Amino acid sequence: MSVTPIRLLGDPVLRTPAAPVVDFDAELRRLVADLTETMHAAGGAGLAAPQIGVGLRVFTWYVDGEVGHLVNPSVDLVGEETEEAPEGCLSIPGYRFDCRRHLHVVATGWDQHGDPLRVEGSHLLARAVQHEVDHLDGVLFVDRLDPGARAAALAELAGADWTGMGAWVPRVEVSPH
Ligand code: NI
């Protein structure tokens, strides 16, 4: 296991849809271990493989003291209830913006051994799952902000000293929840 540098906004890997995992092998288990360790070292609630430069559909989370991971996830948004709350991203360090997310989700996928896994989450866990699955599609949480909030966020991020903001281009247009 090793702590791996986290890619920052402006890195093309964050805008590239990740590929499904095919082999549930030792390499996958090392990836899950690296994601988990890197997430803990950074103090994050979740981390997706593209954030450490690996284009595979894997993410980890650490919410309410529970750590988990999911491979090749698909997420169902449950019900119509949403919640707006401050959200951040380890790839956009130092910034938090209010983002509206579904309150409840059910995510299904596989664990690192290839066994099926189902995760039900609300509030922060639901938010983390939606955020991380977005990463696997090249979507960042700032893409999910309301247009006005997004413009304000962009203006703020333009002052960030850790990336070339010329790379700020939503890869896909997403509709707000
Ligand atoms: Ni993130």
Over the Cα atoms of the chain, what is R_g? 15
- Looking only at the bridges linking them, the beta strands covering 116-122 and 46-48 are unpaired
pLDDT at 88: 96
Q: Quick one: pLDDT band at residue 1, thresholds 50, 70, 90?
A: low
User: Any catalytic annotation for residue 132?
Assistant: yes
What global pTM score does this model have? 0.90
- The residue-averaged pLDDT of 166-173 equals 42
pLDDT at 166: 41
Residue 176, domain member (yes or no): no
The Å distance, Cα 88 to ligand 1 centre, comes to 7
User: What size, in residues, is the chain?
Assistant: 177
Residue 165, domain member (yes or no): no
The whole-chain average pLDDT of the chain stands at 91
Residue 170, domain member (yes or no): no
Residue ranges at the known binding site: 89, 131, 135
Residue 149, domain member (yes or no): yes
Give the CATH number of the domain where residue 77 resides. 3.90.45.10
- The H helix count followed by the E strand count for the chain is 3, 5
Residue 171 has pLDDT above 80, yes or no: no
For the chain, the domain total comes to: 1
pLDDT at 167: 42
- Asked if residue 80 lies in contact with residue 100, where contact means CB atoms within 8 angstroms, the answer is no
What is the domain range of residue 147? 6-160
Tokens of 155: 């203006």
The Å distance, Cα 60 to ligand 1 centre, comes to 11
Residue 167, domain member (yes or no): no
Q: Quick one: pLDDT band at residue 155, thresholds 50, 70, 90?
A: confident
Which helix H or strand E contains 16, and what residues bound it? none
- The residue-averaged pLDDT of 120-148 equals 96
Question: Which residue matches tokens 């899950």?
Answer: 32
Active-site pick, 27, 37, 80, 132: 132
- Per-residue pLDDT tens for 32-43? 999 999 999 999
- Per-residue pLDDT tens for 43-98? 999 999 999 999 999 999 999 999 999 999 999 999 999 999 999 999 998 899 99
Residue 46, domain member (yes or no): yes
Tokens of 53: 């430069």
Quote the distance between the C-alpha of residue 38 and its chain's center: 14
Residue 169, domain member (yes or no): no
The Å distance, Cα 133 to ligand 1 centre, comes to 9
The Å distance, Cα 131 to ligand 1 centre, comes to 6
Q: Quick one: pLDDT band at residue 163, thresholds 50, 70, 90?
A: low
pLDDT at 160: 76
- Asked if residue 9 lies in contact with residue 143, where contact means CB atoms within 8 angstroms, the answer is no
